[in-house]
Structure 1
């Protein structure tokens, strides 16, 4: 005997501490080549008995032996292999997976056993052809009739050529004509030497059987032999491989097919989740771009041996107007406003001039080896340089000083008398080979335009940068003489303190500050940009953190919904031999794909935004403000995947623990 039931009882614990005995001392044995109908009314215990025989419920008293081995003592691995290889299920409601094609539905048992795709597809096609569905293989279950669905379920049950087939009300959802056709197919399966156990309450169905076992109130009340089947050779005998476990790739494929079925919902979740990733990557990239710009700008103007000194800046007239400062402002607000006014005045060059006493005081600062007078101003385009009909606006006017080294002069040399340095951008605007040519500079000083023809001695390029602001450098003595020739007088508004040892620079700067002077314009600009960057980084970090939390919650909710929607599917997969680990792997794979999609979308959107922002900033300021590093993009995708997978653990674990019997009852 292939299957024996010995003194099997099944008791359920009910609410209130009571118990219900569904099966009472069942004894029976079955062999290959039998078509047995288990007949009984609803609640008689027939379905409970089939669940025990099928290994869907292992909690019972007594023994159920298959080929001499007690199913009740099977380990989880042995039970999985039993479902994969030895038993097949045909369900009343078909229980086909709606988003899979008929081929994939039939092949599911072999997919869970990690059988080669070519083998399982060929096997599925053969079985579908045997049940008359050769013209419908690529269709989905909702594209065929009820009778055809049951034929697919039969083909699926035969996929691994099991010895035992359990059919639970296989004709309960079919009309009479289709019922006869399905019963003939089931009868033919038994004739091939399979043991077929049919659960039914219909005597008409039982009439097709070779044996009828009647059960009532949890006990067998009769066991009658009917016309014996005429067995024939099993032409469908299939010697498959030893059952293996679902591969990671197969799990990902199943997850992808399910996501495709719910494409719109999953796409919206991925897009929603991508916002947090986009925020993180964009924040890092913006910070990198702005920081890089600030550092390159600072390195362009700063010589570690030189300290640039300015007088305390004078606030603009409008800014210093008492009417602009509310009398109720706090001391902190007033100090902040004053500092902003000072910084703005410094940036626009509205600083005081150095008197001789200031020069003497600074010359006497310890470790200062030399002092150099200078003049600098931001002209905001009012100063120009012209050459053969071409004109370029100058954003900055400055005088030569020791912070400008030979490495800053890419062409030509330092200017002599009536010579100037032009930055590369300005030189390119005027034309090629401008070095050595005479150009006309126009400088607005005290609302008077002063013009002079000078010689371009060289091209200036800031250290660490391929370009710089439109500027001109000339000698302080030349500027002083030019202003004097136009009946004006100029005083130095900047001095440069040089030390032979750069280790002394920090001390010199501290001393200068204590004497009431300020540092370079570039240092103030750097402080302003750095402060703005810190604020921007904090804001984007907060937004990103909130978005990532929302993303995790979204994925958690979606996967929980998916578990509810696919409860019956999970039950079918467990009946076909899916391990808990396999179920978890499928759901975690879905989370992985959602996380990967959201990460790719987030990074892709970041690149698009970066391109747009950089196009604007380059066109406007000739500066790249967003630098998306490959490490940022990779980190963004990785973070997205990890968050998604982390959010999936609870629903995936919940899905893996679903009871197959309860799952299959789910409507």
Structure 2
């Protein structure tokens, strides 16, 4: 049985609106190893069609092609891939070398697609190139070679995997007569090693060097002439042992992508720069939001005890949001009916008092080490500090539970008979903050609907720092508060609880549990939460606007990769002809989009970092603070986002490249 057998082979090309065109008509042919066969015929005779079918570039035919006992009609996609890698090598008239690869990389390309290790494939390629007289040309690009050298490189690429069949399509068509003879000598030597060499040509000179000439005309074989036998010798181009074919690895695809990107370095730098602008914009917006948020949190935390969480009762359903008191008589002070109103006067806001079951529920929260009771109220226009006959209004009144040393601007915490006042009250009294300490004043305050007055000495000046919600305030100790209410026959339940955690790390978890149970936190916490949400919204909006440039960069990458597919159509055809799978083609192009995304992301992160550093220096000099906080998470987010967008943009061009017909791709100019 011959190595290749063609039986009743027919090939039809569909023509729109007309009967199919028959390019090959009932071809019957047997070919064996060691033959140097020329298939000759005029243009349009069907010789190229026959070559494409023999080479497995076209699998649509009727009849049968049998290669080494295997019927090509039964081949699946992977069988054709293996056929191209192991059985056949192509030599093209126009050389079809990959312009951005060196001579060595062009020859090793077939082995790269088979995932042969670098050392092995380089040694094998150098061995074949040396036999073809190209040992000094390893690192040159195809553009630096003569026509004869290019064809020898193409022959080396066809031989490197030691195939059984060499198909040469017009191998001397682009060469002068002297170089033609040199190339034909090499082809004869290849045939003498026992390989089946098939040359498709219209040249009588080429056919004269063959052992067999098959003439084809109008799709039919009209002649088959044997011209003698070649004297075979040892296969000097052969491999000692053929490795089992594998597939292109991810890292090999990355390397091929890098080599191509290097060829178009300027264009790829501009693409990466364009993509980086969007990434940089998003990262800067996120950094700005995080920085402002951190500034607010840091400022507020500087004025509170990190172990303490303030808790208030939830606003009763149906009550006014600005005024809520308990209706239960046990909570109210025991005074004769009709002597005071049923709630606080207008302008007074008090939280509901805590019942014992509420306190027990709070004690049971994990990590609560201590529970302190306190009282607070908020008024508008009814509470005053009286000094030398003048009234100085304040809004917030309460006990000092939960305060830290940072809340004392001057002086000390109040003892019994003493109060803290804000710096604003001290200044209104006509004294500096320090001069106000020690002065005796009258405190006029509404507690549980009763107007109470008592003389106190100012022990210190209270400050809320730069935190949100700082009003003129007065504070007394819990002991002084109990004494004041007892002297006026009032029984006032605590309406604020301070939970002390066992570790600062657990404070936020306690606050979260308090919210889950339905209680309210401090006014400062609620204000901070509101500002944080507003800030997050603005940050996301600004990031979204900045993200528009990401969409633009995605379109840019998509367009450039489509252009790249067109530019490299012939290269894609070559890769398929030497055993590249559709998956390999996709992997190479997706790898390019991955690298573009990676470089864009890294560049965007670098620019964003530079902006944050310079921006913080400027803001620090102007406002003594930094408001740009670029975290590692933002950098990682930027890089990952860039890669994802770039790879998604590259999917369509990659699929287009993978779906190209190898025959049409090889014909592309």
- TM over 0.5, yes or no? yes
Shift of 1:529: 6.1
Alignment of 1:584 onto 2:558: no
Partner of 2:467: none
SS in structure 1 at match of 2:6: strand
Partner of 1:405: 403
Partner of 1:296: 298
Contact 1:374 1:476 in 2 (8 A): no
Alignment of 1:281 onto 2:275: no
SS in structure 2 at match of 1:547: helix
* Distance change (3 Å), C-alpha of 1:132 and 1:528: same
Shift of 1:186: 0.7
CA offsets 1:435-457 (integer angstroms, 9 cap, x no match): xxxxxx9x9969x99797999xx
Partner of 1:7: 8
Match of 2:652 among 643, 646, 650: 650
Q: Distance in 2 between matches of 1:365 and 1:548?
A: 50
Q: Distance in 2 between matches of 1:152 and 1:128?
A: 7
Alignment of 1:125 onto 2:123: no
Q: Distance in 1 between matches of 2:350 and 2:68?
A: 105
Partner of 1:567: 569
Q: Distance in 1 between matches of 2:159 and 2:55?
A: 15
How many residues end up aligned between the 2 structures?
531
Q: Distance in 1 between matches of 2:650 and 2:121?
A: 30
Larger mean CA deviation between 73-82 and 495-504 belongs to 495-504
Q: Distance in 1 between matches of 2:346 and 2:375?
A: 13
Shift of 1:620: 2.7
Contact 1:4 1:64 in 2 (8 A): yes
Contact 2:402 2:498 in 1 (8 A): no
* Distance change (3 Å), C-alpha of 1:412 and 1:116: farther
Larger mean CA deviation between 657-666 and 225-234 belongs to 225-234
Shift of 1:477: 3.5
Q: Distance in 1 between matches of 2:14 and 2:55?
A: 21
Q: Distance in 2 between matches of 1:153 and 1:542?
A: 52
Alignment of 1:107 onto 2:105: no
Shift of 1:365: 8.2
Contact 2:427 2:433 in 1 (8 A): no
Partner of 1:144: 145
Contact 2:409 2:460 in 1 (8 A): no
Q: Distance in 2 between matches of 1:261 and 1:476?
A: 83
CA offsets 1:6-29 (integer angstroms, 9 cap, x no match): 111111111223221111111111
Shift of 1:268: 1.3
Alignment of 1:624 onto 2:622: no
Shift of 1:192: 1.0
Partner of 2:615: 613
The normalised TM-score by structure 2 is 0.72
SS in structure 1 at match of 2:17: helix
Partner of 1:508: none
Shift of 1:240: 2.2
Contact 1:83 1:576 in 2 (8 A): yes
Partner of 1:600: 602
CA offsets 1:592-645 (integer angstroms, 9 cap, x no match): 111111111112222111112222223332323122222222122112111211
Shift of 1:403: 7.5
* Distance change (3 Å), C-alpha of 1:476 and 1:626: farther
Contact 2:7 2:64 in 1 (8 A): yes
* Distance change (3 Å), C-alpha of 1:222 and 1:45: same
Alignment of 1:81 onto 2:75: no
Contact 1:279 1:543 in 2 (8 A): no
Partner of 2:320: none
Shift of 1:281: 2.1
CA offsets 1:310-332 (integer angstroms, 9 cap, x no match): xxxxxxxxxxxxxxxxxxxxxxx
* Distance change (3 Å), C-alpha of 1:408 and 1:62: same
Unaligned 5+ runs, structure 1: 308-357, 376-398, 422-440, 456-474, 481-491, 506-519
Q: Distance in 2 between matches of 1:272 and 1:26?
A: 56
SS in structure 1 at match of 2:232: coil
Contact 1:305 1:501 in 2 (8 A): no
Partner of 2:412: 414
CA offsets 1:133-179 (integer angstroms, 9 cap, x no match): 11110011111111111000000000111110000000111111111
Partner of 2:326: none
Partner of 1:250: 252
Q: Distance in 1 between matches of 2:495 and 2:665?
A: 81
Contact 1:401 1:496 in 2 (8 A): yes
CA offsets 1:469-520 (integer angstroms, 9 cap, x no match): xxxxxx984899xxxxxxxxxxx95445999442699xxxxxxxxxxxxxx9
* Distance change (3 Å), C-alpha of 1:280 and 1:194: same
* Distance change (3 Å), C-alpha of 1:156 and 1:364: closer
| TM alignment of 1:12-23, pairs within 5 A | 12-23=13-24
SS in structure 1 at match of 2:237: coil
SS in structure 2 at match of 1:286: helix
Contact 1:617 1:623 in 2 (8 A): yes
Partner of 2:157: 156
Q: Distance in 2 between matches of 1:227 and 1:371?
A: 115
Shift of 1:235: 2.2
Match of 1:502 among 490, 496, 505: 496
Contact 2:193 2:232 in 1 (8 A): yes
Partner of 2:519: none
Partner of 1:175: 176
CA offsets 1:323-344 (integer angstroms, 9 cap, x no match): xxxxxxxxxxxxxxxxxxxxxx
